[in-house]
Structure 1
């Protein structure tokens, strides 16, 4: 029996990063987590003032440097070379965590293994015996930022939804995630469950609910 070809096209990593960047407001201070979230720096509009933070001690981070212009003394928390915008600064790790824990970040963008419909976050350990836990500053960011957004593929490589009724992996934070930005849809996490913000062309509401195995409320919100 042959499988039918989906009628929708997934967002590429750069398209997803651009979708996240679209919702970051003027003047926001934003932490970009390790992995996919770092790509968001390359899609902030040039005319929008956004202060990008990296937990290793950078504020005012710019996009990735052009090939051949990397400075490996200037890196983000994922050890990738970055640029520093005019007025930017780098400082002690302890000061950086003071910003994170003190509620000074408007938004943090993190990856995740699982997110519950109510916004519980699991992103530091799968619980597998041979997995290497990597909590880093995720707990501080998830609770310290005014808004926590997750950026991830909606499904695992095995086709299982990463958005779940209840997380089965160890939690990073409870009810901290406000939005999920994925390759197929953008969702809001609320006390009453998931709310649809947008989805890729060709994907319909019923199919999205089938993929997640969860109910998703419809909304007319554009962001």
Structure 2
């Protein structure tokens, strides 16, 4: 990863998250930055990616001009399939999720509370996204939930908050968060910094975190 005085880029956030996915894991990737994680499987590991529209064994994004319009992920973006990939009905895909057969889910977020509550589908405003999609099933049925998100909004408001003000996707579901500033675990005491991005200090994270941040002592 490239050192910078402003933290990790979106690509570097995805790369950092990929490092924490164990060998032989079955992983669902959400829309946005999480989709990039598939590019960064560490050498020597086999990770099987699942997309809820009915594919187990999703590969990287295809090269320009090599897209198959019938091979897409849940975000309607072109993907590839690895050797041995399986295709199945949408209902079977959700049976995998609800049956706790997926090990890790990587999602985006609008807000994460210090208790691990996740809000990632709507701001609750008129004209906002009309439905939650599969996110509620994912956070309820997948064993471990990772979130990748910018630490703050474009307006500078922290996404790591004491209590979510947006409609919840799930309560006490998030395990680990990857932002442009740090990697943080959700603990009973609050957000715990596991790793700081290059050029970022603990005080930088403290100033931009609205929820309780655990101070190592």
Structure 1 partner of 2:204 = 207
Gaps of 5+ in 1: 1-6
Q: Distance in 2 between matches of 1:201 and 1:160?
A: 22
Contact 1:13 1:36 in 2 (8 A): yes
Structure 1 partner of 2:108 = 111
Contact 2:113 2:211 in 1 (8 A): no
Gaps of 5+ in 2: none
Structure 2 partner of 1:131 = 128
Structure 2 partner of 1:94 = 91
Structure 1 partner of 2:145 = 148
Structure 2 partner of 1:52 = 49
Contact 1:36 1:151 in 2 (8 A): yes
RMSD: 1.5
Structure 2 partner of 1:184 = 181
Residue 68 of structure 1 deviates from its aligned partner by 1.4
Q: How many residues align?
A: 214
Q: Distance in 2 between matches of 1:190 and 1:90?
A: 37
Partner deviation per Cα, 1:102-141 (whole Å, 9 max, x = no partner): 1001100011110001100011110112312341100000
Q: Distance in 2 between matches of 1:46 and 1:93?
A: 31
Q: Distance in 1 between matches of 2:11 and 2:200?
A: 19
Q: Distance in 1 between matches of 2:95 and 2:121?
A: 21
Structure 2 residue 63 is the aligned partner of structure 1 residue 66:
yes
Structure 2 residue 198 is the aligned partner of structure 1 residue 193:
no
Contact 1:65 1:81 in 2 (8 A): yes
Residue 46 of structure 1 deviates from its aligned partner by 4.7
Q: TM-score, normalising length from structure 1?
A: 0.92
Residue 219 of structure 1 deviates from its aligned partner by 5.6
Structure 2 partner of 1:83 = 80
SS of 1:198's partner is: strand
Greater alpha carbon shift after TM alignment, 188-197 vs 151-160: 188-197
Contact 2:7 2:199 in 1 (8 A): no
Residue 45 of structure 1 deviates from its aligned partner by 2.8
Greater alpha carbon shift after TM alignment, 186-195 vs 7-16: 7-16
SS of 2:208's partner is: helix
Structure 2 partner of 1:34 = 31
Identify the match of residue 120 of structure 1 among 117, 122, 132: 117
Q: TM-score, normalising length from structure 2?
A: 0.94
Structure 2 residue 154 is the aligned partner of structure 1 residue 157:
yes
SS of 1:103's partner is: coil
Identify the match of residue 11 of structure 1 among 8, 18, 37: 8
